[in-house]
Structure 1
Amino acid sequence: MRFENKTVLVMGGNSGMGLASAKAFAKEGAKVRITGRNQQTLDAAVADIPGSKGYQADISDIAATEKLIDQIEAEDGQIDVLYVNAGVGGFAPLRDITEDDWDLVHSVNLKGCVFAIQKSLRLMGKGGSIIVTGSIGAHASLPGNITYAAAKGGLYAAVKVIAGELVSEGIRVNMVSPGPIDTPLLYRNPGMSDEAVAALKDQMIEAIPMHRMGEADEVARAVLFLASEEASFITAANLFVDGGALELR
């Protein structure tokens, strides 16, 4: 039970990789707190995770994040593990990018994630662990991935700086960067039709040496490793969970 009596906050924990990780944390003894924008999926997730609590919050709303942290402080007093997983897709070629799509993706995937870490710090201390969901898309040249790659690339750079700032406080900060994972995020891309999403999925599978999509549970196992004492000498790392898609391309 690696997380017994630990308070774990999973931001974006109501579906996909966040939900899989929240369930895994709970099975290892954690007091799990999850956030999500959709109340229905949030309620379903809480019902499926014993002892958990859910909070409806949009990570792009900084005031809402601050209110959330106030609630966690009042109810739990501290955060031992923070997993910042909230994100949105945004695949479109250069000629089709709109300013609204750009702002949406960056407000969630970059700005919202950085400020979530900032607001959570007052409840974290020595021995704390922060994990952030990145993407191999920040490191590869995938046509149509400009908006998403720019946001995740910025987040990767931010995480390295944050890790350097917090290392003297005994707080570890790491990133897990999935490759193509079969989660709801794949099917929620602004400006893309169902046919385009299906074509994108086929393109991704073709590029993966293991010739399959990853599963959310496979990412969750990496998240829990980085959060645990098993990774006590690891900070500022970026762990790829991608079936070899990046390094074996």
Structure 2
Amino acid sequence: MVGRAVLVTGAAGGVGREVATRLLEAGARPFLTDRPGSGLTAFAGECGAASLEADLTDGRAIARLFDAVTEELDSLDDLIACAGVGSGPLMEMDEAGWRYVIESNLMSYVACTQRAVECIRRTGRGGSIILVGSISVHIKAVGESVYNAAKGGVASFAETLRKELMHEHIRVTLIEPGAIASAMQPFPPEERARMMAEHQLLPPAAVADAILFAATQPPGVDIVTLRIEPQIQKVV
């Protein structure tokens, strides 16, 4: 990863932070983004990475983001999309709520991927798109209908896009983590820590390790789908 220009979305969250930290340790040049009010600016200042707060449900914000990436990094080698929000059952949400979940968890992935591929193509050296989905699409638990609609879309998008881009030496990887000890969980920090210690929740660092494993494969090796979950994963 030395010298590689990498855009990380959702970079203020648990997994995104761990990814950004590992990229910096590996000598990459990460550009970090997350929604306004996420704490991104403070985190980026601490680690010394370039950043821009952006609401990725807004196409104009995405355009500004990629303008900033191009200006700061000059090029782009990889996109690591970690952005996401949780959801409730469909009938407990208003239209604005479920639309925001789908726009955050699916539409932003498609929009950022399209822009990223355009940037990667200009380098002529290939690159990678790594999209964080969820094993929730396999579990189909009650209460996750809207969330699964979005993450199921990410899964189909990633697996199909890979075939569209494989001859351009652009790899597409779908990461499907189980329950993560992040702020998306409806538990206070101390409860998340307890559940992580009891192997009911994944450490964000473990998911970041899986992402970097996919990102650092040699040319010609594509990690298509990587499923990672805590040993005691909920099934309903």
TM-score tier after normalising by the smaller chain length: 0.7 to 0.9
Q: Cα–Cα, structure 1 residues 248 and 61, in superposed 2: closer, same or farther, change >3 Å?
A: closer
Q: Cα–Cα, structure 1 residues 115 and 245, in superposed 2: closer, same or farther, change >3 Å?
A: farther
Find out whether 1:33 has 2:42 as its counterpart. Answer: no
The aligned residue for residue 157 of structure 2 is 158
Q: What SS does the corresponding residue of 1:186 show, helix, strand or coil?
A: coil
C-alpha RMSD of the superposition: 2.4
Q: Cα–Cα, structure 1 residues 232 and 223, in superposed 2: closer, same or farther, change >3 Å?
A: farther
Residues 187-226 of structure 1 aligned to structure 2 (within 5 Å): 187=186, 211-226=199-214
The amino acid of 2:226's aligned partner reads: L
8 Å CA contact 2:32–2:52 kept in 1: the answer is: yes
Which of residues 116, 121, 136 in structure 2 aligns to 1:120? 116
The amino acid of 1:220's aligned partner reads: A
Measured in 1, the distance between the counterparts of 2:147 and 2:44 equals: 29
Find out whether 1:16 has 2:14 as its counterpart. Answer: yes
Measured in 2, the distance between the counterparts of 1:238 and 1:167 equals: 15
**Structure 1: runs of 5+ lacking an equivalent:** 188-196
Find out whether 1:56 has 2:53 as its counterpart. Answer: yes
The amino acid of 1:148's aligned partner reads: Y
8 Å CA contact 1:42–1:54 kept in 2: the answer is: yes
The aligned residue for residue 72 of structure 1 is 69
Which of residues 40, 43, 46 in structure 2 aligns to 1:42? 40
Identity fraction in percent = 29
The amino acid of 1:215's aligned partner reads: P
Q: What SS does the corresponding residue of 1:123 show, helix, strand or coil?
A: helix
If the length of structure 1 is used for normalisation, what is the TM-score?
0.84
* CA drift at 1:230: 4.3
Q: Cα–Cα, structure 1 residues 170 and 231, in superposed 2: closer, same or farther, change >3 Å?
A: closer
8 Å CA contact 2:162–2:171 kept in 1: the answer is: yes
**Structure 2: runs of 5+ lacking an equivalent:** none
8 Å CA contact 1:136–1:179 kept in 2: the answer is: yes
Find out whether 1:181 has 2:168 as its counterpart. Answer: no
Which of residues 73, 79, 83 in structure 1 aligns to 2:80? 83
Q: Cα–Cα, structure 1 residues 246 and 39, in superposed 2: closer, same or farther, change >3 Å?
A: closer
Q: What SS does the corresponding residue of 1:214 show, helix, strand or coil?
A: coil
Q: Cα–Cα, structure 1 residues 159 and 246, in superposed 2: closer, same or farther, change >3 Å?
A: farther
The amino acid of 1:103's aligned partner reads: R
